[in-house]
Structure 1
Amino acid sequence: MANKTYADASSALEGLLFDGMTIAAGGFGLCGIPENLIAAIRDSGVKDLTIYSNNAGVDDFGLGLLLETRQVKKMVSSYVGENAEFMRQYLSGELELEFNPQGTLAERMRAGGAGIPGFYTKTGVGTLIAEGKEHKEFDGETYILERGIVADLSIVKAWKGDTQGSLVYRKTARNFNPLAASCGKVTVAEVEELVNVGELEPDSIHTPGVYVQRLLKGDHEKRIEKRTIREA
């Protein structure tokens, strides 16, 4: 069995990046984001990126790093809060934005990974989301057609991974990661803990190694997005 591990994020991305590419990124807010891979993409200088992600991190962390360096041409996202630069670029016309309802974005990734080119949903009917999309009636209800996502590259972050690329996510860090991992032509994962094949309980694996082409063990900052404490 081939070992899919790489020494660091830069080497794991070698030969995969090009201007104008599409990237699906796992994570929700700052939870479960592939921060090492994002930093390596920034350092590569690749530009005109289209990124599929629930949101874009914060101003100085996560995908916000790529917005800061103007490497992103378009975001396909559910939420743009917590990032003032995201808002500024969008309102000034510097950044394209395609809003997707959160469940629709998740299903678009899942569908792309499952080889499903499109699906119909009621979500967004009668709103701006539906403009320009095919409408179809089922049982007296109107639905709109949404396309599955197949990205040039998927980047995800897991708790544990084995050398064959099987991944286990921890608690809420599971979020968009399994969906993003499935919909990339190439998927690169970073993990907190790297183990040998056979050390993961088979029933606990969330992403089978067949979906993952490369992985690395990363160092993770694990920021708290909004720290809430009570008074002493």
Structure 2
Amino acid sequence: MKKVYESAADALDGLLTDGMLIAAGGFGLCGIPELLIDAIVESGVKDLTVASNNAGVDGFGLGKLLETRQIRKMMSSYVGENAEFMRQYLSGELELEFNPQGTLAERMRAGGAGIPGFYTKTGVGTVIAEGKEHKDFNGETYILEEGIFADISIVKAWKADETGNAVFRKTARNFNPPAAMCGKICIMEVEEIVPTGSLDPDCIHLPGVYVHRLVQGTHEKRIEQRTTRPRPAA
């Protein structure tokens, strides 16, 4: 099966529809599928629900899809760093389903493992638990969270072979593996595609069985918050 495509637009061809659920990897601007996001912006698809830890920043990453009003609902843990995200949420223009970070990651992982739901203590006694099933285990109360089964997932890896076996670099590993797992179709952009068999099997973070389409590209890797020390006096 051919998995390598020439461009992000080619890799998404025939997959995008209005109203679909997209799981997006990355955390802040670390490990985000920026090329695929740009291609989704260009496609004009709308009324999207996006499951992602946050929505990038203004003018970059998922922030671009917010600016073009292509996202109807976010399933996220964090609203900060993106003024347009906050503005749309507070004004009622954007639906938001808050998830604790660990719960969101586990909902994605559960979907990828075919698990429709799981019980967790996280969120018990808070607004997160409102409207959800409660159950006691060993004297402790848990709430039921549903697995996420996305129509597609978009993720970014450091290296992958031609079958999709992937390695993520350091903190870019964050939400990418569970996001990749929970999509019915996973599209992955990478910095480098290497020959099949050249990756150490023990170092593979995501098996290629989860990956359906691959595209290699050049990435900006913008720094979200640049923090430096003053230069020492001579």
Q: Normalised by the shorter chain, which TM-score bucket?
A: over 0.9
TM-score norm. by structure 2 comes to: 0.98
For residues 22-41 of structure 1, the C-alpha deviation after alignment (integer angstroms, 9 at most, x for no partner) is 00000000000000000000
Map 1:58-137; keep pairs closer than 5 Å: 58-137=57-136
- 1:178 maps to 177
Q: What are the Cα deviations for residues 97-150 of structure 1, in whole angstroms up to 9, with x where unaligned?
A: 000000000000000000100000000001000000000001111000000001
Rounded to whole Å, the distance in 2 between the matches of 1:217 and 1:199 is 17
Q: Take 1:200 and 1:26, find their aligned partners in 2: how far apart are those partners?
A: 22
- 2:34 aligned partner: 35
Residues 1-232 of structure 1: matches in 2 within 5 Å?
2-232=1-231
Equivalent-residue separation in structure 2 for 1:218 and 1:62 (angstroms): 15
Cα RMSD for the two superposed structures: 0.5
Length, aligned pairs only: 231
**Which runs of 5 or more structure 2 residues have no equivalent in the other structure?**
none
Amino acid in structure 1 at the alignment position of 2:197? G
Which whole-Å CA distance do the structure 2 matches of 1:44 and 1:165 have between them? Answer: 24
> Residue 231 of structure 1: CA displacement?
1.0
Between the aligned residues of both structures, percent identity stands at: 77
Query: Which secondary structure does the structure 2 equivalent of 1:185 belong to?
Result: strand
- Shift of residue 3, structure 1, vs aligned partner: 2.8
Counterparts of 1:94 and 1:218, CA distance in 2? 33
Residue type at the aligned position of 1:211: Y
What letter is aligned with 1:88? R
**Matched residue type, 2:82:** N
Aligned equivalents of 1:29, 1:212: Cα separation in 2: 23
Counterparts of 1:174 and 1:47, CA distance in 2 = 28
Unaligned runs of 5+ in 1: none
Alpha-carbon separation, structure 2, partners of 1:139 and 1:125: 15
SS at match of 1:3: coil
User: In structure 2, what residue type is equivalent to 1:166?
Assistant: N
Report the CA distance between 1:16 and its aligned residue: 0.3
Aligned AA (1:126): G
